[in-house]
Structure 1
Amino acid sequence: MHLVPAERADRRTIDGHRVCDAIAAIGEPGHVRTWADRFSLLADPGRLALLLALDRAGPLAVSDLAVATGMNDPAVSQALRLLRAAAVVVGEKEGRVVRYRVVDPLVADLLKHCTADAD
């Protein structure tokens, strides 16, 4: 049980080698936190709908996303603000119009799994 932290070494285990495998699979707490944050962005149905629309249809403006998702413009803007802050999407300005697209490759890969059954 070489991977068990010292503060947990006195706890009883049933399958010590599997405990070490589990600890190795979990990895660094910071890495787990990063993935948890990424999943929390996808956990909101509105944000997930926006991301699916952007992933499938390409760059879209706020008003187009609002129509596509059934959300109102301010709700779309708020969700995009969170997604931009997390570096999941970027907005590219063309004149007075800003179109958003997914730029996080890991999120894009996850979105492909969300729609795999639809194909």
Structure 2
Amino acid sequence: MHLVPADRADRRTIDGHRVCDAIAAIGDAGRVRAWADRFALLADPKRLALLLALHRTGPLAVSDLAVATGMNDPAVSQALRLLRAAGVVAGEKEGRVVRYRVVDADVAGLLGHCAADG
């Protein structure tokens, strides 16, 4: 069965069956966009450092993350705000201290691969 969309059906292919397999592998455009957004979050070295620290150690407070990454507290807070808005991390308040942790299972899986290579 060919999955070539009608707007591309008139174009010549060399390996038509592979083109159909490639279209199936790409899948839903919304899912591709969601993964691209995740990768964009991970593309910033400072955000990636924060996520690697959280993935390896578990929940940490902003000030502890700042010391671990060499960032200042406001920069850590801003990065965590972005990661929280994207659903990648969540904060758990304990008194006046908020400790953050990675909650996105897909991102955690990617971080596991990154950490294993280091």
What TM-score results when the alignment is normalised by the length of structure 1?
0.96
Residues 8-28 of structure 1, C-alpha deviations (whole Å, 9 max, x = no match): 111111111100000000001
Structure 2 distance, partners of 1:75, 1:106, is: 25
For structure 2, the residue ranges without an aligned partner over 5 or more in a row are: none
Q: What is residue 9 of structure 1 aligned with on the other side?
A: 9
Q: What is residue 31 of structure 2 aligned with on the other side?
A: 31
Query: 2:84 touches 2:90 (CA, 8 Å); kept in 1?
Result: yes
1:1-119 maps to which residues of 2 (within 5 A)? 2-118=2-118
Structure 1 distance, partners of 2:96, 2:50, is: 21
Structure 2 distance, partners of 1:62, 1:103, is: 17
Q: How far apart are 1:113 and its partner, in Å?
A: 0.1
| Partner SS state of residue 115, structure 1 | helix
Structure 1 distance, partners of 2:53, 2:83, is: 14
| Partner SS state of residue 48, structure 2 | helix
What TM-score results when the alignment is normalised by the length of structure 2?
0.96
Structure 2 distance, partners of 1:43, 1:117, is: 17
| Partner SS state of residue 98, structure 1 | strand
* RMSD (Å), alpha carbons: 0.9
Q: How far apart are 1:72 and its partner, in Å?
A: 1.0
Aligned length: 118
Runs of 4+ aligned structure 1 residues displaced above 3 Å come to none
